[in-house]
Structure 1
Amino acid sequence: MATNYQTKIVALWMVFLLGTLFHTQLALMPLFHGLSVIESQKATTINEISGIMWLMLGFFILPMLAIIATVFTENKSYRVVHFGLTIVYSVLNFIHLLLDMLLPQVIWYQITLMVLLFLIGLLLNFVAFQWMKSPLRNNNSPERLTAYH
């Protein structure tokens, strides 16, 4: 059975996105119990944090687009760009993990989740690297021709 890197990559991106969403939700959970959440800086209007919100939007949209592109293309140049994207996300996750460790109040359940997300990112790097180095599949292979009969 051939290794389907695209399926593995899509699954890892989806797990990563779910973990990232849970990281955000976990940070807000104290609000549901009448407790305050940790603030990095006070903002008085949404415009003051607009740039951060756009960055967060981009952080979530790029993996979504990567999932779609990975499903629909095997292009060699896309594979290289995709691998680079996974590296960027691993670096950003590592920085985020370090910054969470430097907070005045270290929240260990968040650190545990960030370590897990970082490890998932490293696995994504590895699979994306394998996919980048693998030969392009021949669209006329017997496996593809019989799959549609």
Structure 2
Amino acid sequence: MTINYREKIIALWVTFLLGTLFHTQLGLMPLFHGLPIVESHKSTNINDISGIMWLMLGFFVLPMLAITTAAFADSKRYRVIHFGLTVFYSAMNLLHVILDLFVQPIIWYQITLMLLLFLLGLLLNLVAFQWMKLPNNCNKGQEIFI
């Protein structure tokens, strides 16, 4: 049985993105029930937080690019860069969990989701590491139909 690392990586990234979107959605759910949401800092307009919005955009776009590139690229160089990206995201998830523990009140369902995303990230690290260790052109015999 052939192990298809690219399929596993794409599935893990998609699951990670869905979990990240759900994390954002969970943070906004109180609004739908007329309750206040937890805020890290108050802003008077969108321009006050434009830097944060750009960082959030980048945080979502990089996995989207990783998914797309993994579907089409198999170079050793890309696999090394991809592994580095997965390690970066795992570090960011761990930091996010730790910082969420300082937000008052602590919202345990958010912490649980972030821990799940962190564990998912570790699995992504493992699969990306295994993919990175494959010899160059390991999928040479596979045909690509576009």
TM value normalised by structure 2: 0.95
Equivalent residue runs for 1:20-99 within 5 Å: 20-99=20-99
Shift, 1:138, TM fit: 5.1
CA apart distance, 1:75: 0.3
| Alpha-carbon spacing, 1:41–1:138, altered in 2? closer, same or farther (3 Å) | closer
- The Cα shift of 1:134 comes to 1.1
CA distance in structure 2 between the aligned counterparts of 1:33 and 1:138, rounded to whole angstroms: 51
Match of 1:2 in 2: 2
Q: Deviations over 1:74-125 (max 9, x none)?
A: 0000000000000000000000000001112100000000000000000000
Question: Residue type of the partner of 2:73?
Answer: T
Q: Which runs of 5+ in 1 are unaligned?
A: none
Query: Which structure: larger Rg?
Result: 1
Contact kept, 8 Å, 2:17 with 2:63, in 1: the verdict is yes
Runs ≥4 residues deviating over 6 A: none
Give the partner amino acid of 1:29: M
Structure 2 spans left out of the alignment, 5+ residues: none
Query: Could you say what secondary structure the match of 2:25 adopts?
Result: helix
Partner residue, 1:137: 138
Residues in 2 aligned to 1:111 and 1:137: alpha-carbon distance in whole angstroms: 39
* AA of the residue aligned to 1:8: K
- TM-score, normalised by the number of residues in structure 1: 0.93
Which residue in the other structure is 1:12 paired with?
12
Question: How far is the alpha carbon of 1:57 from its aligned partner?
Answer: 0.2
Aligned length: 144
Identity of aligned residues (%): 65
CA distance in 1, matches of 2:34, 2:12: 35
Partner secondary structure for residue 7 of structure 2: helix
